[in-house]
Structure 1
Amino acid sequence: MPEARLPRIAVLATGGTIAGAQTDAASGAYRAGSYGVGQLLAAVPQLAGLARIGAEQIANVGSQNMSHAVWRQLALRAAALCDDPATDGIVITHGTDTLEETAYFLSLVLPVDKPVVLLGAMRPATALSADGPVNLYNAVALACHPAARGRGPLVVMNEDIHLARHVQKTAASGIAAFASPNAGRAGVMQGGRPVFHARAERQAADALLRPDELPQQAWPRVDIVHACVDLDGELIDFMAGRAQGIVLAGVGDGNATDAALQALQRACARGVAVVRASRTGSGRVGRNIEIDDDACGFIAAGDLSPQKARVLLTLGLCQTRDTARLQALVDSR
């Protein structure tokens, strides 16, 4: 294929294990965010046959240190590239620890038709069998393919394709670390081409917030409290004095001890938005089933994980503190 006909793909790098360098080959110890985007691309010369690539370094951090400030910068740049008719798709390299949160965040602020594909790696760039190069190749190939359009941000890891809303990191180690427990993977990469298992899910027609509407300084504070046996309300009461929102990573159907639920009701009375999610990793938290959400003033997370419920609540609180409107956002996004 002549070079002039190759798609134009923008690669935005944020760091992570994919850009990591081993400090001890025997133990596998490494430092994330050691290599720049140019080095990542140079390790995959086959990309030259797929696309004309432009590369930018947005950040270079382990994704445990991903921040709202970097999210805003990333979203603004991605939005500008999506508006540029010369750009056919965007690929984002990212650490795996919070990749699912960034993917879901972008799905809420970038309702665009162009492919946006995120990837990471479970092994550092200098590992004996690094998975980053093949994930990067597959991500660029996916971003070039017309079947990736209109699906919102996608995640490609270990040849599996996932939708931003459903993907979760489900293992702390090993290259098969990502799954979509409630929906299953959206497709697979085979021979550098995507094979999707279903039609594109309908995406929200508008952004919850446009990137240029994201706060430049402090974002609404939303904390997560993890339910467990004999949890009292002390930590929740403390959170309620600082946060605008609290997400309960509850047992089972988003439940907790009586003491914790009473503390969450006190938080609601103080104007704090409370979302009930589940710590189980799959399933759906229903409204007004075992807990009377209407009476308590709670919001049910549906099939959102606690961490994704936190992303949505953070953005939702930029617009409203009305519980009914926040519940409607959860139900529609």
Structure 2
Amino acid sequence: MSIALFALGGTISVSGRAGGARLTGAEITAAVPGLDGLGMPLDVRDVHAVPSGSLTFAQVLGVVEAASHAVAEGAAGVVVTQGTDTLEETAFLADLVWPHEAPFVLTGAMRQPGMAGADGPANVLAAARVAASRAARGLGALVVINDEVHAARWVRKSHSTSTAAFVSPNAGPAGRVIEGEVRVLAPPPRRTVLPSGAVPARLDAARVALHCVTLDDDGDRLAGLDETHQGLVVAGFGAGHVPASLAPVLGALAERIPVVLTSRTGSGPVLRHTYSAPGSETDLQRRGLINGGLLDPYKARVLLRLLLAAGAGHDEVAAAFAEHG
């Protein structure tokens, strides 16, 4: 039994060497005290040494596929080190397609290895402990940073520099690593795993736009969007509202492509039947928009693109958001 560790790029791998060379997975793990106490070795592999902002859906799905092979060959769990900028999105993408009981754990760092108080080693050790823990089995993809265990569905990066940047505002941490022990306090429920086999080949044909609604927004940037994109996520005000003048624009788009309604606030749900004025959630749903539930706009875009790449129609998209949102 082993832990498969896939090292990508990001802050955790910044070497400070001339030419911008990245630390390898072996170099990252060599700086982590306590890994020999896991009771199983690390199988370290280097992939996609790029900042997380440059990762693609196809690359993330490729890492998930490689991790699946590692589990099939006997790995007890998986750790992925990457940059934190897109960690909440890559974690959710992995969670949607991860079919195994073995933990799939993502981590990174907010401080470069050469900085005072670098957090990478502690995060890698905590992530490896979670990946090796029986308590974390069956929980899907998890983000482990700052000794906190977050469910991929809930986690968000809430600060640009703090080592405590990752939070789960709608649910709180799923668990914590305390004195080296993994304590799962609020296990997230598992939802239907989505198929991913043919998805990478269809991603280019599944373009999904994200429109953040702003004050006095007339929707001029949405003109012709259905000719260039196959789906749209709307980040609305508050509980899922837009200016009254924007509602018919979105309704017209919803007649041609799936349009998912989310909230730009960062936490809380899109309501379903509390407000009824033009541009309210009730009005927008009546015009054909799909309620995104508790998913933030970024995660809603991940789910919608994955569904469209898998060939889902409008009804299947609506059903998936009813379950995952």
Taking structure 2 as the reference length, the TM-score comes to 0.91
SS in 1 for 2:79: strand
Q: Is this contact kept in 1: 2:53–2:85, CA < 8 A?
A: yes
The reply to whether residue 14 of structure 1 matches residue 8 of structure 2 is: yes
How big is the shift at 1:45? 4.2
Q: Is this contact kept in 2: 1:58–1:73, CA < 8 A?
A: no
Match of 2:265 among 271, 280, 284: 280
SS in 1 for 2:201: coil
How big is the shift at 1:240? 2.8
Moved more, 151-160 or 279-288: 279-288
Counterpart position of 1:201:
188
The reply to whether residue 242 of structure 1 matches residue 253 of structure 2 is: no
Following the alignment from structure 2 to structure 1, what is the Cα–Cα distance between the partners of residues 181 and 30? 22
Following the alignment from structure 2 to structure 1, what is the Cα–Cα distance between the partners of residues 245 and 16? 46
SS in 1 for 2:246: helix
Query: CA offsets per residue over residues 166-211 of structure 1, 9 Å max, x none?
Result: 111111111010100001111111111111212x33313x52113x
How much is the aligned-residue C-alpha RMSD, in angstroms?
A: 2.0
Identity %: 36
Following the alignment from structure 1 to structure 2, what is the Cα–Cα distance between the partners of residues 23 and 128? 17
Gaps of 5+ in 2: 275-279
Counterpart position of 1:223:
209
SS in 2 for 1:88: strand
Q: Is this contact kept in 1: 2:199–2:310, CA < 8 A?
A: no
Following the alignment from structure 2 to structure 1, what is the Cα–Cα distance between the partners of residues 57 and 158? 23
Q: Is this contact kept in 1: 2:251–2:284, CA < 8 A?
A: no
Query: CA offsets per residue over residues 66-112 of structure 1, 9 Å max, x none?
Result: 1122112112111212222x211100101111111111111111121
Is the alpha carbon distance of 1:177 and 1:219 closer, same or farther for their aligned partners in structure 2, counting shifts above 3 Å? farther
SS in 1 for 2:34: helix
What code does the residue aligned with 1:306 have?
Answer: P
SS in 2 for 1:216: helix
Following the alignment from structure 2 to structure 1, what is the Cα–Cα distance between the partners of residues 311 and 239? 26
Is the alpha carbon distance of 1:309 and 1:61 closer, same or farther for their aligned partners in structure 2, counting shifts above 3 Å? same
How big is the shift at 1:278? 0.6
Is the alpha carbon distance of 1:209 and 1:66 closer, same or farther for their aligned partners in structure 2, counting shifts above 3 Å? same
Following the alignment from structure 1 to structure 2, what is the Cα–Cα distance between the partners of residues 294 and 277? 12
Q: Give the number of aligned pairs.
A: 316
